[in-house]
Amino acid sequence: MKTLIKNATVVLPNETLSTSILIEDTKIADIDPASQVTVDKVVDASGLHLLPGVIDDQVHFREPGLTHKEDLYTATRACAKGGVTTFLEMPNTNPNTVTQEALEAKLALAAGKCLVNYGFYIGATPDNVEDLKHAHRTPGIKIFIGSSTGNLLVDAQDALERIFAETTLPACAHCEDESTVRANAERFAGTTDVHDHSRIRDHEAAIIATRRAIDLAKRHTHRFHVLHVSTGAETLLLAEHENLITAEVCPHHLFFNVDDYERLGSLVQMNPSIKTEEDNKQLWHALLDGLIQVIATDHAPHTLEEKRQPYPKSPSGLPAVENSLALMLNQVHRGLCTIEQVVRWMCDAPARVWDIVDKGRIAVGYDADLVLVDLNKAATIHNEEQETKSKWSPWDGESLTGWPVSTWVMGHQVFCNGVIDESRRGSEAIYDHARGGYWST
């Protein structure tokens, strides 16, 4: 099958130009092919921008064990609609993904259900270093340095030292200091005010844990990725990366702050918590300055009934995967960043951080994971139109300019103008951890 995407404004690794892209089967076969090339399908992309498919390196798709909130099928419908062609999913499902057997069970499940490409982290526990040392078919190790699900909390220093010293896979962590969170929770014991969530999971909890993790990574020369940076102060810790440290920020930490509790209540209750307007500004500057390399969603849906329980019964997390690209394209529309920067943050950098082979760029020989966007399309987010099983968004009612209109996964057009094609499944992401990651490619 040959498809010609014709007359698009194409965002290439080193330039943006008006050209055509030839897809042959699952690969990008040519850029600016000869005009007489014979194809099976022509897509006229005049007036539209063609980007690499988004790689979301932090999602919680809830399967197995929590599928009343989300599952791999509903979540990847949301991905297809939102221009996300590859996701990397976290290990805090039920059961936790902490062994090679559990990891491969998830991969087998995904092969039959996912409409986009997929990968799964293996989770660290206080006593599974041997599993982590021999893990494969995974982007890396996820460590919860802070409260989590099941046996995934790793807070003891000796256990953390072993993980960083004895394993070789890239690692990432949820960084909130457990002792700080617990002490704050005691101070606010009995509270029913969701505003207190950001006082319990405060700046200090995030800063202490991030500093601790970076110290471990540097002392053991272990590649490390800081997940969902939430404070401006943490960005100062990222300045001396020593070719080891990368980081990411989520849309909710860029766009929401403690003032939004008044309007949205527990719908914006997150771990790490949302912080201040000043933190929003500092995170944005860190992204523009290159201290933060990646934008990811931490898509973590719960039902509205669960989220609307009185605090602290309300769980932390929100859905974002189908709106993340549009949220950032809206920033392009507002003149706050460029389309090339969005591609770097959401497509290229995640592939390089996690050594994902042949993804994240529009280049000959790369996988044909692509998203066509209309930078002039204006639309409003509505809960009832969400593909996520939870059927809500904290951005409900918000109008954005700039939206995905077509998505290709391994050469197959999985989404086009509101219609999702379920006739093919995505593929397992492939990693080449020997090539050295973000700083060396």
364: pLDDT strictly greater than 90: yes
Task: Output the domain CATH number for residue 26.
Answer: 2.30.40.10
Q: Based on the fold, state whether residues 258 and 317 are members of the same structural domain.
A: yes
What digits encode the pLDDT tens for the residues 297-334? 999 999 999 999 999 999 999 999 999 999 999 999 99
The two tokens of residue 78 are 């949301």
Statement to judge: residues 124 and 187 lie in one domain: yes
Lowest mean pLDDT among 11-15, 58-62, 75-79, 362-366: 11-15
Q: If you average pLDDT over residues 105-121, what whole number do you get?
A: 98
Banded pLDDT at 437 (limits 50, 70, 90): confident
Are 263 and 193 found together in one domain?
yes
Flag whether 440 is in a domain. Answer: no
Query: Does 74 fall in a domain?
Result: yes
The pLDDT, as a whole number, for residue 150 is: 57
For residue 441, what pLDDT is reported?
60
The answer to whether 56 is a known catalytic residue is no
Same domain for 40 and 167:
no
pLDDT, tens digit, 9 for 90 and up, residues 365-379: 999 999 999 999 999
The pLDDT score that the predictor gives to residue 440 is: 66
Q: Look up the domain containing 103 and give its range.
A: 53-361
Instruction: Give the mean model confidence (pLDDT) for residues 7-35.
Output: 96
How large is the average pLDDT for residues 187-191? 97
Of the listed 57, 298, 348, 358, which one is catalytic?
A: 298
Report the Cα 247 to chain-centroid distance in Å.
12
pLDDT band at 242, cuts 50/70/90? confident
CATH number at residue 348: 3.20.20.140
Same domain for 249 and 155: yes
- Do 12 and 142 lie in one domain? The reply is no
pLDDT digits (tens, 9 = 90+) for 386-415: 999 999 999 999 999 999 999 999 999 999
- pTM: predicted TM-score of the whole model, two decimal places: 0.98
Position 392 in a domain? no
Whether 158 is covered by a domain: the verdict is yes
pLDDT recorded at residue 121: 98
Tokens of 332: 């392009």
Q: Would 426 be classed as within a structural domain?
A: no
Is the domain of 265 the same as that of 117? yes
Please indicate, yes or no, if residue 438 is contained in any of the structural domains: no
**Is the domain of 193 the same as that of 284?**
yes
- Among 144-148, 337-341, 357-361, where is mean pLDDT lowest? 144-148
Of 54-63, 142-151, 405-414, give the lowest mean pLDDT range.
Answer: 142-151
Predicted local distance difference test score (pLDDT) of residue 152:
82
Look at residue 116 in the predicted model and tell me its pLDDT.
98
Q: Does residue 97 fall inside a structural domain?
A: yes
Do 373 and 269 lie in one domain? The reply is no
Specify if 431 maps to a domain: no
Average pLDDT of the residues of the chain = 96
Same domain, 295 and 347: yes
What is the share, in percent, of the chain residues with pLDDT greater than 90? Answer: 94
Asked if 9 and 67 sit in the same domain, the reply is no
The amino acid that residue 300 corresponds to is A
Total count of domains within the chain = 2
Strand 49-52, strand 370-380: pairing: antiparallel
> 152 and 88, same structural domain?
yes
Query: What pLDDT, on the 0 to 100 scale, is given for residue 435?
Result: 85
